[in-house]
Amino acid sequence: MIHIGEDYRRMNNCDHELFTVLALDAKGIPNRRLTARDAADLLADAARSAEDRLATPGTTTTKH
């Protein structure tokens, strides 16, 4: 059981690294160098996007 847990943790860490690289690359942030300014810009962009969806009539959100 310990080996299964350790294997799962290693796989999860690899997946996290991969998704981090993909997400930052998609936002145009090279070499995984996320500065405080980059983080603030990403959060502001996400907030604007959420506000736009909420302000658009007829838009529905799905709860999971």
- Average pLDDT in the chain: 79
pLDDT at 63 > cutoff 60:
no
What is the pTM assigned to this prediction? 0.46
The pLDDT tens digits for 32-55 are 677 888 888 888 888 888 888 888
Region 14-26: mean pLDDT is: 80
Region 19-29: mean pLDDT is: 79
> How high is the pLDDT of residue 3?
83
> How high is the pLDDT of residue 60?
57
**Cβ atoms < 10 Å from Cβ of 34:** 14
C-alpha torsion sign, points 47, 48, 49, 55: positive
Q: Distance between CA atoms of 24 and 37, rounded to whole angstroms?
A: 13
